[in-house]
Amino acid sequence: MEKINVELGDRSYTITVGEGCRYGIFAAIGDAPTLLVVDSTVAELYGDEVRNAVRPRETFVVQSGESSKTPETAVAICRAAARAGLDRHCRFVALGGGVTGDLTGFAAAIYMRGVRFVQMPTTLLAMVDSSVGGKTGADIPEGKNLVGAFHQPDAVL
């Protein structure tokens, strides 16, 4: 496995690349209470494995596809975190492609005015685009990514 440090002062994070890097989730979240957000397609492939590793308080399944990338879905993620009793010390974990990463990062940016999160991209595009740089957001009818925030992840696996 290879580790790449993204130096951003107090918002620095590490990108871990390589087969089996998802097992680094333990170090990325520590003992923080967790909300796992997973794409519906990815949930069938890796959901149980990651759920067993993360042991989240709550799992939120996002329907696959760009049509789910809405402010309403981001708020639904926040509501799931609130129902699970997650506080400012929690971690959100995004498991899936770009839509999942963008939504989870945006929800993490707005929940309690900002909580920490980890990106676990599962598509090549998400690995090189949405998981790096802290670009988070949602689409509205007027355009793509018009609602969002820059919110750096704790780690990208």
For residue 6, CA distances in Å to 47, 95, 141, 153 come to 27, 20, 34, 10
pLDDT at 10: 87
CA 107, distance to chain mean position in Å, is 9
What's the rounded mean pLDDT across residues 106-135? 90
pLDDT at 26: 63
> How far is the C-alpha of 125 from the C-alpha of 86, rounded, in Å?
30
What average pLDDT does the structure give for the chain? Answer: 91
Tens-place pLDDT, residues 4-61: 889 988 888 888 888 777 666 666 677 889 999 999 999 999 889 888 888 899 999 9
pTM of the predicted structure, to 2 decimals: 0.92
DSSP run (H or E) holding 54: helix 48-54
Looking up tokens 């509501």 gives 79
Q: Is the CB of residue 110 less than 8 Å from the CB of residue 73?
A: no
Written as six digits, the tokens of 37 are: 């957000």
Written as six digits, the tokens of 32 are: 């923080």
Cβ neighbours of residue 68 closer than 8 Å, sequence gap 6 or more = 62, 99, 103
